[in-house]
Amino acid sequence: MVNKMIIRKIILIFYVFIISNNIFANIPEEKMKQLRNDPVITTILNNNVQKIRELVKKWRMC
């Protein structure tokens, strides 16, 4: 039981890390400034933040 909980927490951490890295992986700084003003990008980022918060809640529940 304890091992499964530890493995789940590690998987959740990696999942959060992958989500946050993929968004900004191939975007240069000049484009980042333009994208910050783009409402579509901000909604995507906000959705990912919500997903990460949900994952953290699940992680704390484990």
Query: What are the residue boundaries of the structural domains of the chain, listed by start?
Result: 2-61
What is the tens place of the pLDDT at every residue in 40-54?
767 777 777 788 888
Instruction: Say if residue 36's pLDDT is above 80.
Output: no
| Cβ neighbours of 12 (radius 10 Å) | 16
Instruction: Say if residue 30's pLDDT is above 80.
Output: no
> Mean of the per-residue pLDDT values for the chain?
73
Residue 42 CA to residue 30 CA, distance in Å, equals 16
Query: Rounded to two decimals, what is the model's pTM?
Result: 0.35
Predicted pLDDT of residue 23? 62
